[in-house]
Copies of this chain bind each other. A is one copy, B any other.
């Protein structure tokens, strides 16, 4: 189990960004996204629809008390932040810990407690950019690019890679 935790979601303002964090988690080999802040069924439904269509078992779950959730997490907590230690410096140490890992991404203002509670604070560049991008690059390094070859079971649709244009096949959904 490798999970993502998106802190401090705000309805409306963050809807698309949080959805992107979830979809990045799914596409790059995480199993689940937890999120705190405002409960947002639009995000949950959008992700569910993607999972139904494109396969796999990725789920989204709302967390009411992030402090308790973080401190109770049974595994390694990695907080992605531009203030943390460089990715390259810590990634070899993190790779063996990925089973049970919780990868935390925040928004604009992250509570100082998150920096303290996390086992690692990791910077995907020390520059401001995007939570979704930081998560994608982190997971790509964690899995050493192998996640780019994941095929998702029980998909209704699948892309046939093409040099030009879109090729999509409709698949018979099969139960694993």
Contacts and interface: CB of A to CB of B under 8 A. Distances in A.
Interface string A117-134: 000110111111110111
Q: How many protomers of this protein does the assembly include?
A: 2
A112 interface: yes
Contacts of A112: 165
A165 to B, nearest CB: 5
Contacts of A164: 115-116, 121
A98 interface: no
Nearest to A168: B83
A159 B121 CA distance: 13
Interface in A146-176: 147-150, 152, 158-159, 161-168
A48 interface: no
A29 to B, nearest CB: 10
A20 B165 contact: no
A37 interface: no
Contacts of A165: 83, 112, 115-116, 121
A85 interface: yes
A130 B128 contact: no
A133 B20 contact: yes
